[in-house]
Amino acid sequence: MHIKLLDVETINKIAAGEVVEGPASIVKELVENSIDAKSGMITVEIKEGGTEFIRITDNGCGIEREDIELAFTSHATSKIEDVLDLFSIMSLGFRGEALASIAAVSRVELITKTASGIVGTRAVYEGGRMISIEDIGAPSGTTIIVRDLFFNTPARRKFLKSKASEGGKVGSIVEELSFSHPEIAFRFISDGQNKLTTYGNDNVRENIYAVYGKEYASNLIEVCGGNEYVKISGFIGKPIINRGSRACMNYFVNHRYIKAEVIRTAIEAAYSGFVMQHRYPFTMLYLDVDPRIIDINIHPRKMELKFQTDIDVWQLIYDICLQALSNSNLIWRENTSRDENPKAVVEQKQVVPQPVVESKPVVESKPVVESKPVASIQTEVPKVSEAPEVSEAPEAPEAPVVPEASYVQSLSAPLDVRIESFETKRSSQYTRYVATKEDISDDEIKEQLSLFEKKDKNEINPDDIHIVGQVF
């Protein structure tokens, strides 16, 4: 078989496969172009999961009419000029492949106007070829509409997931981009429903609330630190809001959402003493890195990068996260306005003996069937000649058949505290008995106290107790 040179159309379709995997990748490329155009507001709208309709609208700098045709040409970009610029990249796009790759596998409509332009321009592309270009009235900025994705490559179209799945991927991309640039207002609309709105006030915590809810926004720890080459800021979650997957571990390098092994392992190492195994924290970290010590041009979708000194970056992230966790109040919070006080964590762990108070019993006992009433014991006590006659039998003290909850709780207190509590309880019973006598001799008091002491030794029969709850 002879070697042949491929035609331009085939080359473009093959190249598009590296950039355009589905609706989510189209949205990512176009929104990144809008961010590089200094937009302050970006709206993303999709229908049918993005397979039939995608519209990206921004208020950026726009494209000059004479640059439109060049913008849809492969390897044409305004981001870099030569190879040396690759070592100091700060923009999100720089390869000049996005518009050409998207136009090669879909029908694209572009409407754009610069701030200095009198009128805007509308251009239509289909399968990589320009169909028309004309002047049109339009506001400053750019709108790109993508229809019928993979209409000319049905083999690629059949590998798309369901519309709901593809729409979910687009939503995730928009969330990541909104976090990477909190100073930009984002709006995401799917099938006419507003799914996400951020206000571009550079408030990361507010964006976290909008995407993840109050539970996450109320339990954040702010972090800040760095060195000469790397500055770290953002938020990490308290260990209580851990997850079973790494889906909530977000980190950005120079405002670019990435997945870097060195960052992930450093975060997990810092949390290793705070969360269970196979549980992962919530993070929203921003790394401002000197572009001279990183290489972003190692992945087709620019989702990975390489640091010049991985170990230094790992140690820096680990130290900052561990210090934040160690110095913070890790108690669950429901109200974001409450001040955090690390001392409260220690106070919560102190065991303070509780006073003996009346409360509902936490144990129950079997009824003592064969026990004789205390009143019958009184008839066997020899009478004292000095004591006057009493018309009625003295009221007997109530025998505590069921120990009180406070007595059970006091078992966890120190021994001297338990003894004092028991003696106080017994003395109160003696006092109640003696108070019922109008006139009683010292000998009778001694006799009654002796009977109480004998009774106290067998006050609770262990065989009659059944635990019905737990004592903490």
Look at residue 18 in the predicted model and tell me its pLDDT.
57
| Domain boundaries, given as residue ranges, for the chain | 1-202, 208-350, 363-467
Q: List, as one string, the DSSP characters of 340-407.
A: P-THHHHHHH---PPP------SEEE---SSPPPHHHHHTTSPPPTTSPP-SSPPPPPPP-SS--HHH
Instruction: Tell me the β-bridge partners of 55.
Output: 45, 145
Look at residue 440 in the predicted model and tell me its pLDDT.
57
* Exposed / middle / buried, residue 161 (Cβ in 10 Å: 0-12, 13-18, 19+): middle
What is the model's pTM? 0.65
The tokens of 246 are what?
A: 């790494």
Sign of CA dihedral 87, 89, 92, 97: negative
At 117, the amino acid letter reads: G
The tokens of 305 are what?
A: 């990068």
**CA–CA separation, 78 and 94 (whole Å):** 8
Question: What is the CATH number that goes with domain 208-350?
Answer: 3.30.230.10
361 in Cβ contact with 463 (< 8 Å): no
Q: List, as one string, the DSSP characters of 282-300.
A: -EEEEEEE-GGGEE-TTST
Could you give the angle at which helices 310-326 and 261-271 cross, rounded to 10 degrees? 30
Tell me: domain 1-202, CATH 3.30.565.10, correct? yes
Q: Across the chain, which distance is largest between two alpha carbons, in Å? A: 135
Look at residue 243 in the predicted model and tell me its pLDDT.
92
Q: For the chain, what is the radius of gyration of the CA atoms?
A: 38
pLDDT by residue for the chain (472 residues), tens only, comes to 666 666 666 655 555 555 688 999 999 999 998 998 899 999 999 999 999 999 999 999 999 999 898 888 876 665 555 555 555 565 565 556 788 889 999 999 999 999 999 999 999 999 889 999 999 999 999 999 999 999 988 888 888 999 999 999 999 999 999 999 999 999 999 999 999 999 999 999 999 999 999 999 999 999 999 999 999 999 999 999 999 999 999 999 999 898 889 999 999 999 998 999 999 999 999 999 988 888 776 666 666 788 888 899 999 999 999 999 998 776 655 544 434 443 443 344 443 344 444 445 544 444 544 544 544 444 444 444 444 454 454 555 554 444 444 434 444 455 455 445 545 544 554 444 444 444 556 666 666 666 656 555 555 444 544 444 444 4
CA distances from 455 to 71, 130, 376, 393, 430 (A): 99, 105, 14, 19, 12
Look at residue 291 in the predicted model and tell me its pLDDT.
85
**CA–CA separation, 213 and 30 (whole Å):** 28
At 449, the amino acid letter reads: L
Look at residue 465 in the predicted model and tell me its pLDDT.
44
